[in-house]
Structure 1
Amino acid sequence: MNKTKVMIQVDIWSDVRCPFCYIGKHRFESALENFSHKEDVEIEWHSFQLDANIETNPEISTLEYLAKAKNISAEQAKEMFAGAQKMASETGLEMNLETSVVANSYKSHLLIQLGKSKNLANEVEEALFKAHFTDAKNIDDKEVLAEIAKFLGIAETEAREALNSSNFAAAVKEDELQAQRIGVRGVPFFVFNNKYAVSGAQASDTFLEVLQKVWQETSA
């Protein structure tokens, strides 16, 4: 008799504007590399906008925006940046927060949903994070997004259609509604087999412990 293949479903809510989502992604991936059953893990990315009302403005500095948005001093904002950049560096990521473009992430989420339909969500997420945090590109710019899609092997015509139509708007909305239903307040947010939740960019060891626990329970 064939044994039913054991699968671990990991649902991840994320926003490509969030530095801790980028860090959390790589910490989770590091845990996955050390998980002996990684081939049995299935990941699904979900859209989540930290601020749906943010206005794209390449003319102002991210430091200035953060200080104003959080009602803190420029010095406090710099300290926040330094903390995030230290975490990123320890995770092996280059993160240039002060030069990143203040941008609404909605169009990026449309591209992620297109990527999901082609089993390329992880690749699109990674490319968008790099574009925003490392390369200081405007992730609300359709030309930038079309170029990313093209680089990943997605037809430029398909990418432009996704960005210029409402084809994937319902998918973005459904992800956000689902997040509301399960009580997601911030990202990154990881859910394992609809049972265990991990919030934030936790240490790789934490993700590995959860993976092992879920595997033991599921295989038993």
Structure 2
Amino acid sequence: MKVEIWSDVMCPWCYIGKRKFEKALEQFSQKDRIEVEWKSFQLNPDMKTDPSRSIVEYLADAKGFTIDHATQMLDNVTNVAAEVGLEYHMDKTVLANSFDSHRFIQFAKKNKLGDAAEEQLFHAYFTEGKNTADHATLIDLGTKIGLGASAIKDVLESNQFAEDVRKDIYEAQQVGVRGVPFFVLDRKYAVSGAQQPETFLGALQQSFQEWEKENPAPLVSLAEGDSCDIDGNC
């Protein structure tokens, strides 16, 4: 059964939601029959990459917050991240447009490394304070998960996978995504936000039960002996 997850690299709740969903999946008895697909979404497609500005300044300007209020918000999300084992350093976060990051993820998905790419990007952005719009950074992250440096360079220096990103964003509009993370299970059930593992587990169980009725597991042969086949051969 497929679980699609719309997310953006710059969304702190998406990394937290990833960890909570992973915890639920570990507890799910049929986890080997779950396919996870990461989908592209941009919270601010017009954002300009600007390493000179802090995330606090950006939030204050974009939302009309005071610096103190913006700092308090970031401290809160940092504490929540710590509860699921993530180490956020929001003071080091680099403001970066995420479009090329999403093209990088789409390339990784083609090579069955979508989840690994998401993990590398989240960690680079929130923990290491790296510029995830920088091509050299993306090449370095890609080689860590087994992608070829020259292949990543070719993708980033072209327009490859741009249409895949736009398609995901269009799909998000069609299924009603208004914020991320957004989890869609078997295109029937949706879970919005970084919910608790128990919520994810319940959604997995309910959606899988319905999916399994239409997709029964194949029988596994435990032993074979002498027999006759349908053509009369014995």
TM-score of the alignment, normalized to the shorter chain, above 0.5: yes
| 1:192 aligned residue (185, 189, 196) | 185
Amino acid at match of 2:64: N
Instruction: Supply the distance in 2 between the matched residues of 1:184 and 1:215 (Cα, whole angstroms).
Output: 22
Aligned match of 2:142: 149
Q: CA deviation at 1:62?
A: 1.2
Matching of residue 69 in structure 1 with residue 57 in structure 2: no
The alignment partner of 1:10 has SS state of: strand
Aligned match of 1:3: none
Aligned match of 2:219: none
Aligned match of 1:105: 98
Amino acid at match of 2:85: G
The alignment partner of 2:183 has SS state of: strand
Amino acid at match of 1:37: Q
Q: CA deviation at 1:88?
A: 0.2
Matching of residue 18 in structure 1 with residue 23 in structure 2: no
Instruction: Supply the distance in 2 between the matched residues of 1:161 and 1:128 (Cα, whole angstroms).
Output: 19
Instruction: Supply the distance in 1 between the matched residues of 2:69 and 2:12 (Cα, whole angstroms).
Output: 17
Q: CA deviation at 1:149?
A: 0.8
Matching of residue 206 in structure 1 with residue 206 in structure 2: no
Q: Which digits, 9 at most, give the CA deviation of each residue in 1:56-102, with x for residues without a partner?
A: 11111111111111110011101110111111000110011121101
Amino acid at match of 1:63: V
Amino acid at match of 2:146: G
Q: What are the equivalent positions in structure 2 for 1:79-98 lying under 5 Å apart?
A: 79-98=72-91
Matching of residue 31 in structure 1 with residue 24 in structure 2: yes
Tell me if structure 1 keeps the 8 A contact 2:186–2:211. no
Instruction: Supply the distance in 1 between the matched residues of 2:94 and 2:131 (Cα, whole angstroms).
Output: 6
Tell me if structure 1 keeps the 8 A contact 2:42–2:99. yes
| 1:217 aligned residue (203, 210, 214) | 210
In structure 2, the gaps of 5 or more residues are 214-234
- TM-score, normalisation: structure 1: 0.95
Aligned match of 1:168: 161
| 2:35 aligned residue (39, 42, 45) | 42
Amino acid at match of 1:197: A
Percent identical across equivalent pairs?
46
Q: CA deviation at 1:219?
A: 2.7
Amino acid at match of 2:42: Q
Q: CA deviation at 1:217?
A: 2.0
Aligned match of 2:172: 179
Instruction: Supply the distance in 2 between the matched residues of 1:40 and 1:118 (Cα, whole angstroms).
Output: 19
CA RMSD of aligned residues (A): 0.8
Q: Which digits, 9 at most, give the CA deviation of each residue in 1:14-66, with x for residues without a partner?
A: 00100000000110001000101100001111100100000111111111111
- TM-score, normalisation: structure 2: 0.89
The alignment partner of 1:13 has SS state of: strand
Instruction: Supply the distance in 2 between the matched residues of 1:72 and 1:217 (Cα, whole angstroms).
Output: 45
Q: Which digits, 9 at most, give the CA deviation of each residue in 1:135-156, with x for residues without a partner?
A: 0000010000011111111011
Aligned match of 1:119: 112
The alignment partner of 1:43 has SS state of: strand
